[in-house]
Amino acid sequence: MAAVLRRLLVPSCSRWRPVAVPLKHRVLHRAGAPLLAEGSRSPAACSRAESGWQHTQVGGSVEVDLKRLEGQDEGIVEVLMCRHQARNALGHVFVSQMRELVSTLSSDSAVRVVIFRSLVPGVFCAGADLKERALMNNSQSDLFVHGLRSLMTQIASLPTPTIAAMDGVALGGGLELALACDLRTASHSAQMGLIETTRGLLPGAGGSQRLPRMVGVTLAKELIFTGRRVGGQTALEMGLVNRAVEANQTGDAAYKEALALAREILPQAPVAVRLAKEAINRGVEVDIGSAMAIERMCYARVIPTRDRKEGMAAFIEKRPPRYIGE
């Protein structure tokens, strides 16, 4: 029955077909369809013509895309949200494309840091697509929100550090997406909040659980009960974001701060960073004794790595380490 409902609810995912490109372009394979992403250009929009990206899309619009950075930033991957007309609202196609890209990233050992950013000016993610939701019956709505919750868990489970760059509004499910990331940057002009109670709902994609773990139970209750929106600086003071910066004229101050943060993570030993994330994420959910056992297991897995030996050698030889992720 669930499979039947999914076929009814979810339109065909976007698919790409390859075109002739120089050999320097990398090829990503997802769900049997190659995605060719150029790493050196920074697209101003998600349009294929405007961005100059070397792939074409078949069977619908591209609402979520992916870009691999190159050169000194190799290992940083950007997930680009570009549903312009609907302000990155979490509709069927958007969620399906996001799920597919995140699945690709989860098994890619070349990825060191993932940045989630928006190409829609003034918006990170406006939350649920209420126009789509209005057409669903109760069971369809429940099934869709279950899928949305599953997507946020999928993002939270990525083995590499993730950063949400909020250069605009992040409301409802949009903030839940950011909460599923490890780190968050925001411009002072950004507005964020779990506003579901103002729509007769409650946060259903993990927000009611992740926000209390982040800012504390009492403050989380106040924010959720009132549906209040807060700006970037207030979010920083609450501990909701890691860094808040003044907005700039190009509207990408939070993204630039996220990129700077990613560049701080990038030189560190990849296996050690992944295992540190695992130790933290698993440890905070259990008692301190069990958490110490988790730390010990993660530490034991990093001891035999070539990167650990390289780190020790680099320290003794007084030179920068050259980590390879093994």
Domain housing 284: 270-317
* Residue 250 DSSP class: T
Tell me, yes or no, whether 252 and 276 share the same domain. no
The reply to whether 255 and 275 lie within a common domain is: no
Are residues 244 and 299 located together in one domain of the fold? no
Query: 309 with 185, same domain?
Result: no
3-class secondary structure, 321: coil
Measured distance CA(65)–CA(81) in Å, rounded = 7
Of the residues 176, 193, 247, 279, only one is catalytic, namely: 176
Question: Tens-digit pLDDT profile for the chain (326 aa)?
Answer: 444 444 434 333 333 333 333 323 333 433 333 333 333 333 344 444 333 342 334 457 899 999 999 999 999 999 999 999 899 999 999 999 999 999 999 999 999 999 999 999 999 999 888 888 888 999 998 998 999 999 999 999 999 999 999 999 999 999 999 999 999 999 999 999 999 999 999 999 999 999 999 999 999 999 999 999 999 999 999 999 999 999 999 999 999 999 999 999 999 999 999 999 999 999 999 999 999 999 999 999 999 999 999 999 989 999 999 999 88
Residue 57 domain-assigned (yes or no): no
| Neighbour-count burial of 310, counting CB atoms closer than 10 A to its CB (0-12 exposed, 13-18 middle, 19+ buried) | middle
Catalytic residue among 38, 78, 132, 196: 196
Note if 222 is an active site residue.
no
Token representation of residue 54: 């070397």
Structural domain tally of the chain? Answer: 2
Kindly state whether residues 161 and 181 are assigned to the same domain: yes
CA-to-CA distance for 252 and 167, rounded, in angstroms?
Answer: 6
With respect to residue 9, please indicate whether it lies within any of the assigned structural domains. no
173 among known catalytic residues? yes
The CA-atom distances, in angstroms, between 148 and each of 96, 165, 240 are 10, 20, 21
* Same domain, residue pair 259 and 293: no
Residues 274 and 242 in one domain: no
> Considering Cα of 127, then 133, then 139, then 143, what sign does the dihedral take?
negative
Does 125 reside within a domain? yes
Q: Which of 28, 10, 11 is nearest to 67 (CA)?
A: 28
- Annotated catalytic, 176? yes
- By CB atoms closer than 10 A (0-12, 13-18, 19+), residue 215 is middle
In a domain, 46, yes or no: no
Are residue 238 and residue 298 in the same domain, yes or no?
no
Residue 155 tokens read as 């993002």
User: Which residue is associated with the tokens 């050992």?
Assistant: 109
Q: 277 and 205: one domain?
A: no
Find the CATH number of the domain harbouring 282.
1.10.12.10
CATH of the domain at 77: 3.90.226.10
* Whether residue 120 is found in the same domain as residue 233: yes
What is the reported pLDDT for 307? 93
- Taking only Cα atoms into account, the Rg of the chain, rounded to an integer number of angstroms, comes to 20
143 in any annotated domain: yes
* pLDDT for the residue 28: 40
Residues 199 and 137 both lie in one domain:
yes
Measured CA to CA, the distance from residue 47 to residue 155 in angstroms comes to 25
Regarding whether 303 and 290 lie in a shared domain, the answer is: yes
Catalytic residue of the set 128, 186, 244, 247: 128
Q: Is 100 a catalytic residue?
A: no
**244 token code pair:** 């808040």
pTM (two decimals): 0.82
Question: Looking at 75, 168, 172, 173, which residue is catalytic?
Answer: 173
